[in-house]
Structure 1
Amino acid sequence: MEVGGVLNREKQTERLAGMVGRNKRLHPSAWLNLLYVPALVLFAVFILYPFFKGIQVSFTNWDGYSQTFSWIGLDNYRRMINDPNIGTVIENTLIYGVCSTVFQNIIGLAYALLLNQSVKGRGIVRTIVYLPVIVSPLIMGYIWYFFFQLQGGALNDVVQLFGNQPVNFLDDPKWNVWIITFVNTYQYVGIAMVIYMAGLQSISKEYYEAAELDGASGRQRFWHITLPLLMPAITVNIVLNLIGGLKLFDVIMALTKGGPGYASQSISTMMFKVYFASQDAGYAAALGNLMFVLISVFSLVALTYLRRREVA
């Protein structure tokens, strides 16, 4: 029996060695690199090619539809610099990007700090705060349009209850840009909250216990423990919010369509208007390159600055 058991074990060992050998022959490290190929192909087709094609189109007078076009050099970029509306459009874009980022992070962090504690019903509150994220931005814009609209809007109904005349919030340049910023903040604050909650739950409680024994107040614990250890989450949130806000499109189209005139236009909505209304694909491509530069500069500067402040 002992000899038979030894032989059986030897056969099993040989079988396992053979399987390992076959696996090595079937899956060498060089073959594993081929798994990158589908992703690289998709990236090249849907990202790199449109990017370089957009740069090429920006030097032409292509209308976006015809098969013929002419090279016009830097004329589209000169036109963009001299466009009397480009200053307003860039200012609006920066407001949507920077202010939405600030509001989303402040409110998201406040929610995370509150709901990270043992508060009754916190699961329901988390769901309510996160729920707008899963709604289409276009649908979210239309929902808030019915709240702010002049005739029959819920807000104007309240205004009229107090004997005042209805206010055209969406056509007033003093209001519409900030309403769009508010709606964008409201929709995506849930993402910031979730990222901050993940960051808070990764902080060891031992830090807080040691600080409490040393007599540190709640404010001191926040500034010297919570905030420094949350820097990775802050970095992720700020960069994502900046990118999303600077390319904001759907909510603007649903609420104001960029109007009146260029009062609430962003670069993305101006591109849409120039391409489809004016059939000027060359100028639209130049605007797209401007938006790419803005997003790249702001996101890279924010990423570089915030990564240096992260606790090693």
Structure 2
Amino acid sequence: MKHKKQTSNVPSVFSKRRVNLLYVPAVLLFLVFTIYPLINGFALSFTDWNGYSAGYNNVGAKNYLRLFTDEIFLSALINTLIYGFGSTLIQQILGLSLALALDRKFRGRTVMRAIVYLPVLISPVVMGTMYYLLFAYNYGGLNDIMIAFGLDRVAWLSNPHLAIVIIVLVNSIQFVGISMVIYLAGLQSIPQMYLEAAAVDGAVGWTRFRSITMPLLQPAFATSIVLNLIGGLKLFDVIQVLTGGGPGYSTHSISTLISKTYFDSQTAGYASAMGIVLFITIAAFTFVLNSWFNKHQVEGA
């Protein structure tokens, strides 16, 4: 009598262990470059460490109390919120509009998608330099055009209000491709039968978009908004290249102010406290947004 070879669909313990070993490098990198700096930064935020000496003193909550009486930090906090929410709003409007336009079939659609996404692949430092050459007071491309038309130069980057708007626009233009890709994926995941059924019921144009498309795009909205907001709140490179936080301290975000406080003022403990506040701010907004989207997704299901 022939005996059938028995096979088990359950992976062996050895196989499971080998699979689990694949996670080790990623976990180690996360612990070393994320968790350890966070814990160490939190500990240093209660000290007067200057960033280079071996010794330091514990100052309790002094650094945190100082933050909320420091006009420079409070200005940077407001700027950070403007960069975060301003960029996020613009990226959602442009990203969704571009996704709707490029979801249609026409010649050159793939090329247009690539062009919109291309700035995402460019270093923020390079992107900032490009726009600095455009908005520079002397020899800037935009001012050269204005002079050619008989107009006066404008100090685009020396005016705090204009500079903040320019920073928001540059950041939005660079990363709008991410929102576009997310919304394109969301649009292409909508079952065609829903759109056809809506058309049969007479829902077309804005009515169909509001009643069918937008509710089904909710996961895409959640992903895009959270990612864009996180990126905007921790904005650093573009600000550093375009204005360096100036004029004065008027365009600093918390990220750029941390750098200046740490390296220029050599008050690493105070800079660490700023970093913890930035982390808490980003974590709080992320938690609130995710909770809101999850709640409404369940209610709308």
Q: How would you bin the TM-score normalised by the shorter chain?
A: over 0.9
Match of 1:24 among 7, 12, 36: 12
Q: Alpha-carbon deviation of 1:121? A: 1.5
Q: Alpha-carbon deviation of 1:230? A: 0.3
Tell me, yes or no, if structure 1 residue 210 matches structure 2 residue 197: yes
| Alignment-mate amino acid for residue 239 of structure 1 | V
Cα distance in 2 for partners of 1:115, 1:21 equals: 45
| Alignment-mate amino acid for residue 193 of structure 2 | E
Give CA deviations for 1:112-140 in whole Å, capped at 9, x if unaligned: 00100112211111111000000001110
Give CA deviations for 1:240-265 in whole Å, capped at 9, x if unaligned: 00100000000001100000111100
Q: Alpha-carbon deviation of 1:151? A: 0.6
TM-score, reference length from structure 2 = 0.94
2:58 maps to: 71
Tell me, yes or no, if structure 1 residue 143 matches structure 2 residue 149: no
Cα distance in 1 for partners of 2:129, 2:219 equals: 34
Match of 1:299 among 264, 269, 286: 286
Q: Alpha-carbon deviation of 1:276? A: 0.4
Question: What pairs with 1:204-283 in structure 2 (closer than 5 Å)?
Answer: 204-283=191-270
Tell me, yes or no, if structure 1 residue 108 matches structure 2 residue 80: no
Unaligned regions of 5+ residues in structure 1, if any?
A: 1-5
Q: Aligned Cα RMSD in Å?
A: 1.9
| Alignment-mate amino acid for residue 153 of structure 1 | G
Q: Could you tell me whether the CA contact under 8 Å between 2:73 and 2:257 is conserved in 1?
A: no
Q: Alpha-carbon deviation of 1:22? A: 11
Q: Could you tell me whether the CA contact under 8 Å between 2:85 and 2:232 is conserved in 1?
A: yes
Tell me, yes or no, if structure 1 residue 53 matches structure 2 residue 43: no
Q: Could you tell me whether the CA contact under 8 Å between 2:45 and 2:273 is conserved in 1?
A: yes
Cα distance in 2 for partners of 1:25, 1:53 equals: 37
User: Which protein is bigger by CA-based radius of gyration?
Assistant: 1
Q: Alpha-carbon deviation of 1:302? A: 1.3
Unaligned regions of 5+ residues in structure 2, if any?
A: none
1:91 maps to: 78
Cα distance in 2 for partners of 1:115, 1:308 equals: 31
How many residues are aligned here?
299
| Alignment-mate amino acid for residue 177 of structure 2 | G
Q: 1:71 to 1:23 in 2, by over 3 A?
A: closer
Q: Could you tell me whether the CA contact under 8 Å between 2:136 and 2:143 is conserved in 1?
A: yes
Q: 1:172 to 1:21 in 2, by over 3 A?
A: closer
Give the % identical residues: 47
Deviates further, 108-117 or 118-127: 118-127
